[in-house]
């Protein structure tokens, strides 16, 4: 766990270099994404319980398996997502086979056995969640990495959780599967308008505004080249 600001944590995971998050308020806490299967989800829940006993809610940054298949370990609780969130059930078989091919049958089985937890609360463009003494704002800045990207702003700390709109140290091939690269730079421009001091990516270590601006230029250049 990396405390990036007061009671705001980026949680780094070895598998897929994933980064989840935790924001603790006076009354409740918010878990930002869960890992890619129920075993990893249970491990994350246990880790969080080592530092807070407050009741939790979960928010999904988007609908790719590695960001929500572990949510069963946190239920029952409120689960937030953008209104475009849909299960990508086909990912289950694809990744289970991939892990078996890599000689990791236990991870394949964990994916196959994981419960897919649907959102209980959805939003369109913006929503606020009060945690007690602090407010977290959920933003949807349009399609980019996916069609349901959610940016989480911790308003009192200038910290933003970007999901896979930002990846560190660089985008990988899987980043461009089902979103809209033509609108992705617009989403990053709107994220930068929040003027964050810390941006927590969906994969990799926390970064600053300059890194996000550079990735935006990479996306613009890539789209121009592709055209």
pLDDT digits (tens, 9 = 90+) for 176-209: 768 898 999 999 999 999 999 999 999 999 999 9
Closest CA to 202 of 11, 41, 29: 11
pLDDT for res 89: 80
Q: Note whether 51 and 34 are within 8 A (CB).
A: no
DSSP state of 119: P
- Other CB atoms within 10 A of residue 109 CB: 15
What residue ranges define each of the domains in the chain, with the CATH number in brackets? 2-226 (3.60.15.10)
- Other CB atoms within 10 A of residue 80 CB: 22
Torsion of CA 26, 30, 35, 38, to 10 degrees: 80
pLDDT for res 171: 86
Tally of residues, the chain: 227
Q: How do residues 31-64 score in pLDDT, each as one tens digit?
A: 999 999 999 999 999 999 999 999 999 999 999 9
pLDDT for res 176: 75
Question: What percent of the chain is modeled with pLDDT above 70?
Answer: 96
Q: Once rounded to an integer, what is the mean pLDDT over residues 163-174?
A: 89
* CA separation for the pair 172, 81 (Å, rounded): 24
């Amino acid at each position: 766990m990396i405390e990036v600001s007061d009671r705001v944590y980026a949680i780094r995971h070895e598998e897929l270099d994933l980064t989840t998050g935790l924001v603790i308020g006076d009354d409740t806490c918010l878990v930002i994404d869960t890992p890619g299967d129920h075993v990893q989800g249970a491990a994350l829940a246990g880790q969080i319980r080592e530092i807070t006993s407050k009741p939790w809610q979960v928010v999904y940054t988007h609908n790719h398996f590695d960001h929500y298949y572990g949510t069963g370990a946190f239920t029952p609780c409120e689960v937030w997502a953008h209104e475009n969130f849909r299960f990508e059930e086909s990912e289950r078989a694809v990744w289970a086979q991939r892990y078996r091919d890599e000689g990791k049958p236990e991870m394949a089985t964990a994916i196959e056995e994981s419960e897919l937890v649907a959102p209980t609360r959805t939003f369109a463009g913006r929503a606020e969640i009060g945690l007690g003494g602090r407010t977290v704002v959920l933003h949807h800045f349009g399609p980019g990495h996916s069609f349901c990207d959610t940016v989480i702003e911790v308003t009192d700390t200038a910290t933003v959780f970007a999901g896979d709109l930002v990846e560190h140290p660089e985008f990988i091939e899987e980043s461009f599967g089902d979103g809209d690269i033509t609108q992705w730079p617009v989403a990053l421009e709107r994220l930068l308008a929040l003027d964050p001091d810390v941006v927590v990516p969906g994969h990799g270590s926390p970064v600053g505004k300059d890194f996000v601006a550079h990735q935006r230029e990479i996306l613009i250049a890539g789209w121009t080249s592709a055209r």
